[in-house]
Amino acid sequence: MKKFVLIVTLIVSSNVHAEEPRLKTLMATMGGHAQGILSGILYEDYDVIQNAVAWVNNHEQPTGDLAMIKKELGLEVLRFKWYDTQAHNAANAIGEAAIARNMKEVSRNYGIMIYNCTKCHEAFRERLRNVLHKE
Ligand code: HEC
Protein backbone atom coordinates (compact mmCIF):
# COMPACT_ATOMS: atom_id res chain seq x y z
CA MET A 1 0.00 0.00 0.00
CA LYS A 2 2.79 2.39 0.94
CA LYS A 3 4.51 1.68 -2.35
CA PHE A 4 1.28 2.38 -4.24
CA VAL A 5 0.81 5.72 -2.47
CA LEU A 6 4.40 6.66 -3.26
CA ILE A 7 4.00 5.83 -6.94
CA VAL A 8 0.75 7.79 -7.19
CA THR A 9 2.39 10.73 -5.42
CA LEU A 10 5.30 10.63 -7.83
CA ILE A 11 3.05 10.51 -10.88
CA VAL A 12 0.88 13.36 -9.64
CA SER A 13 3.80 15.60 -8.65
CA SER A 14 5.70 14.93 -11.87
CA ASN A 15 2.63 15.92 -13.87
CA VAL A 16 2.33 19.16 -11.97
CA HIS A 17 5.83 20.12 -12.99
CA ALA A 18 5.68 18.56 -16.44
CA GLU A 19 4.38 21.67 -18.16
CA GLU A 20 3.62 25.18 -16.98
CA PRO A 21 0.15 26.53 -17.93
CA ARG A 22 0.06 28.30 -21.28
CA LEU A 23 -1.99 31.37 -22.15
CA LYS A 24 -3.60 29.75 -25.19
CA THR A 25 -4.99 26.83 -23.17
CA LEU A 26 -6.18 29.16 -20.43
CA MET A 27 -7.90 31.38 -23.00
CA ALA A 28 -9.62 28.47 -24.72
CA THR A 29 -11.03 27.50 -21.30
CA MET A 30 -12.05 31.12 -20.76
CA GLY A 31 -13.96 31.05 -24.04
CA GLY A 32 -15.90 28.04 -22.74
CA HIS A 33 -16.78 29.83 -19.50
CA ALA A 34 -17.85 33.00 -21.33
CA GLN A 35 -20.22 30.77 -23.30
CA GLY A 36 -21.31 29.20 -20.02
CA ILE A 37 -22.25 32.61 -18.63
CA LEU A 38 -24.15 33.45 -21.82
CA SER A 39 -26.00 30.16 -21.60
CA GLY A 40 -26.92 30.95 -17.97
CA ILE A 41 -28.19 34.36 -19.09
CA LEU A 42 -30.31 32.96 -21.90
CA TYR A 43 -31.79 30.19 -19.74
CA GLU A 44 -32.06 32.51 -16.72
CA ASP A 45 -30.12 30.07 -14.60
CA TYR A 46 -28.30 32.11 -11.96
CA ASP A 47 -26.43 29.10 -10.54
CA VAL A 48 -24.92 28.38 -13.94
CA ILE A 49 -23.88 32.04 -14.20
CA GLN A 50 -22.29 32.10 -10.73
CA ASN A 51 -20.46 28.86 -11.38
CA ALA A 52 -19.02 30.06 -14.70
CA VAL A 53 -18.02 33.40 -13.16
CA ALA A 54 -16.14 31.58 -10.39
CA TRP A 55 -14.16 29.70 -13.04
CA VAL A 56 -13.32 32.92 -14.89
CA ASN A 57 -12.14 34.52 -11.66
CA ASN A 58 -10.06 31.64 -10.38
CA HIS A 59 -8.13 30.77 -13.50
CA GLU A 60 -4.50 29.79 -13.18
CA GLN A 61 -1.66 32.09 -14.19
CA PRO A 62 -0.09 31.39 -17.59
CA THR A 63 3.31 30.87 -15.98
CA GLY A 64 4.60 29.08 -19.09
CA ASP A 65 4.23 32.32 -21.10
CA LEU A 66 4.54 35.16 -18.58
CA ALA A 67 8.26 35.81 -19.10
CA MET A 68 7.86 36.01 -22.89
CA ILE A 69 4.79 38.25 -22.56
CA LYS A 70 6.65 40.67 -20.28
CA LYS A 71 9.69 40.68 -22.54
CA GLU A 72 7.64 41.38 -25.69
CA LEU A 73 5.36 44.01 -24.17
CA GLY A 74 7.76 45.94 -21.96
CA LEU A 75 5.86 48.77 -20.30
CA GLU A 76 2.79 47.98 -22.40
CA VAL A 77 2.30 45.02 -20.07
CA LEU A 78 0.50 47.58 -17.88
CA ARG A 79 -2.16 47.96 -20.55
CA PHE A 80 -2.34 44.16 -20.89
CA LYS A 81 -2.88 43.89 -17.12
CA TRP A 82 -5.45 46.71 -17.26
CA TYR A 83 -7.68 44.77 -19.68
CA ASP A 84 -7.29 41.70 -17.50
CA THR A 85 -8.35 43.67 -14.42
CA GLN A 86 -11.29 45.24 -16.27
CA ALA A 87 -12.49 41.82 -17.46
CA HIS A 88 -12.22 40.46 -13.91
CA ASN A 89 -14.03 43.46 -12.42
CA ALA A 90 -16.87 42.91 -14.87
CA ALA A 91 -16.92 39.18 -14.03
CA ASN A 92 -17.19 40.07 -10.34
CA ALA A 93 -20.05 42.43 -11.10
CA ILE A 94 -21.79 39.65 -13.06
CA GLY A 95 -21.39 37.36 -10.02
CA GLU A 96 -22.82 39.94 -7.64
CA ALA A 97 -25.74 40.67 -9.95
CA ALA A 98 -26.40 36.93 -10.25
CA ILE A 99 -26.57 36.63 -6.45
CA ALA A 100 -29.02 39.57 -6.44
CA ARG A 101 -31.00 37.85 -9.24
CA ASN A 102 -30.69 41.02 -11.29
CA MET A 103 -30.64 39.94 -14.94
CA LYS A 104 -30.38 43.46 -16.32
CA GLU A 105 -27.11 44.04 -14.45
CA VAL A 106 -25.87 40.54 -15.28
CA SER A 107 -26.28 41.13 -19.00
CA ARG A 108 -24.97 44.71 -18.88
CA ASN A 109 -21.78 43.53 -17.16
CA TYR A 110 -21.51 40.58 -19.51
CA GLY A 111 -21.27 43.14 -22.31
CA ILE A 112 -18.55 45.01 -20.41
CA MET A 113 -16.62 41.81 -19.80
CA ILE A 114 -16.67 40.73 -23.46
CA TYR A 115 -15.75 44.26 -24.49
CA ASN A 116 -12.58 44.01 -22.38
CA CYS A 117 -11.77 40.49 -23.59
CA THR A 118 -11.85 41.75 -27.15
CA LYS A 119 -10.02 45.01 -26.37
CA CYS A 120 -7.07 42.93 -25.23
CA HIS A 121 -7.34 40.65 -28.27
CA GLU A 122 -7.45 43.64 -30.57
CA ALA A 123 -4.36 45.17 -28.97
CA PHE A 124 -2.18 42.13 -28.29
CA ARG A 125 -3.41 38.81 -29.64
CA GLU A 126 -1.70 38.79 -33.03
CA ARG A 127 1.51 40.24 -31.63
CA LEU A 128 1.75 37.72 -28.80
CA ARG A 129 0.80 34.80 -30.99
CA ASN A 130 3.81 35.56 -33.16
CA VAL A 131 6.12 35.47 -30.14
CA LEU A 132 4.53 32.60 -28.19
CA HIS A 133 4.04 30.22 -31.10
CA LYS A 134 7.08 30.60 -33.28
CA GLU A 135 7.22 26.84 -33.80
C1 HEC B 1 -5.02 40.65 -20.99
C2 HEC B 1 -5.34 40.29 -22.34
C3 HEC B 1 -6.48 39.34 -22.60
C4 HEC B 1 -7.72 39.36 -22.00
C5 HEC B 1 -8.25 40.28 -20.92
C6 HEC B 1 -8.45 38.27 -22.60
N7 HEC B 1 -7.69 37.62 -23.54
FE8 HEC B 1 -8.24 36.01 -24.63
N9 HEC B 1 -6.43 36.00 -25.55
C10 HEC B 1 -5.38 36.87 -25.29
C11 HEC B 1 -4.23 36.49 -26.08
C12 HEC B 1 -2.88 37.20 -26.08
C13 HEC B 1 -4.61 35.38 -26.84
C14 HEC B 1 -3.73 34.56 -27.80
C15 HEC B 1 -3.05 33.45 -26.98
C16 HEC B 1 -2.17 32.56 -27.79
O17 HEC B 1 -2.48 32.28 -28.97
O18 HEC B 1 -1.18 32.09 -27.21
C19 HEC B 1 -6.01 35.10 -26.49
C20 HEC B 1 -6.77 34.09 -27.05
C21 HEC B 1 -8.09 33.81 -26.74
C22 HEC B 1 -8.87 32.76 -27.34
C23 HEC B 1 -8.42 31.82 -28.46
C24 HEC B 1 -7.70 30.62 -27.85
C25 HEC B 1 -7.12 29.69 -28.91
O26 HEC B 1 -7.21 28.47 -28.70
O27 HEC B 1 -6.58 30.18 -29.92
C28 HEC B 1 -10.10 32.76 -26.75
C29 HEC B 1 -11.27 31.84 -27.02
C30 HEC B 1 -10.08 33.82 -25.76
N31 HEC B 1 -8.84 34.45 -25.79
C32 HEC B 1 -11.14 34.15 -24.93
C33 HEC B 1 -11.12 35.19 -24.01
C34 HEC B 1 -12.24 35.55 -23.16
C35 HEC B 1 -13.61 34.91 -23.17
C36 HEC B 1 -11.83 36.61 -22.42
C37 HEC B 1 -12.59 37.41 -21.40
C38 HEC B 1 -13.30 36.71 -20.38
C39 HEC B 1 -10.46 36.91 -22.79
N40 HEC B 1 -10.07 36.02 -23.74
C41 HEC B 1 -9.73 37.93 -22.23
C42 HEC B 1 -5.41 37.92 -24.40
C43 HEC B 1 -6.47 38.27 -23.58
Return the pLDDT at 23.
Answer: 97
Give pTM, 2 decimals. 0.89
User: What SS3 state is found at 33?
Assistant: helix
Binding site membership of 66 for ligand 1 (Cβ less than 6 Å) = no
Domain boundaries, the chain: 21-132
Burial of 66 (0-12, 13-18, 19+ CB in 10 A): middle
Residue 79: pLDDT above 60? Answer: yes
Ligand 1: which residue has its CA nearest to atom 26? 28
121 Cα–ligand 1 center, Å: 6
Class of domain 21-132: mainly alpha
User: Strand locations in the chain, DSSP E?
Assistant: none
